[in-house]
A = this chain, B = another copy of it.
Amino acid sequence: MTATEERLIDPVLERVKTGIEAFDDLVMGGLPRRRTTVVGGTPGSGKTVFATQFLAHGITDLDEPGVFVTFEESPADIEVNMASFGWDIRGWREANKLAFVDASPRDTDQMVVGDFDLAGLLARILYAAKNAKAKRIVLDSITQLFDHFVTDEKAVRRELLRIATALKKEGLTVLMTAERNSEYGEISRHRIEEFVADNVVILRNALDRERRRRTIEVLKMRGSRHVEGEVPITLVSEHGMVAVPLSSLRLEQQSSSKR
């Protein structure tokens, strides 16, 4: 164990509130600080909403600046999309509370693919984080990151680990989104993300007899207790993601077990 690592050890897992209140209750107060959480889900399941809300709460309530690394959606689009939840992304950006790193291949006319780029990208991200004195960082989504940057499928696991390690070393709490191809199928797209991450949260938007049902589940949280199983959620204008509080869930269970 190196001296740097030694210094990082901290017997109690400090918590970072996400701002999704009923959710923070599921994870004993928030996501563990300086750890990596993967939020997986199908298209439109709410990954970007979750990630933005995590940054928003840090900026508006706790004075923790953030970095948003986007791999396909332009920062401008995210700004508009998140406006419907009442988040003033432009304001935060101007107040230097939020920095975007646009890692999409959109603007570049040519594209050099390979690990070299990934190193360059990591440098840009670290620079932005330092500049903004960021404490929270979002990578939306790592699936895109790997589809765009990593040529060798076998390198995905190693690169994912390398990035997570570098960001944690800077004291950042990392939230990565990951694409899943089906609601209850196996693991996420590259089938590795959920093993490598410290924590895994799954957003579902399942079709059940012509209706959709949205839920959130904490699949794993290394070093910590957490509520297990699926909890219903809603997306609400001017609020963002809202989970059903545990108390109502338990009431529901009591009444249903009474029958």
Contact = CB atoms under 8 A, between A and B. Distances in A.
Copies of this chain held together in the complex? 6
A220 interface: yes
B161 A219 contact: no
Given A106-B162, A162-B106, A223-B81, A229 B210 contact: yes
Q: How large is the interface on A (under 10, 10 to 19, 20 to 34, 35 or more residues)?
A: 35 or more
A224 to B, nearest CB: 6
A196 B141 CA distance: 11
Contact of A200 (B44, B84, B104, B194): B44
A22 to B, nearest CB: 16
Interface stretch (A55-63, A129-137, A178-186): A178-186
A211 B186 contact: no
Interface of A: 1-2, 5-6, 8-13, 42-44, 48, 72-77, 79-84, 90, 93, 100, 102, 104-107, 111, 141, 143-144, 147-148, 151, 154, 157-158, 161-162, 165, 179, 181-182, 184-187, 191-192, 194-198, 200, 207, 210-212, 215, 217, 219-225, 228-230, 235, 237
18 contacts: A5-B75, A8-B74, A9-B90, A43-B187, A43-B195, A44-B219, A74-B165, A80-B223, A83-B223, A105-B161, A106-B162, A106-B165, A141-B195, A147-B158, A147-B192, A179-B195, A181-B187, A185-B186
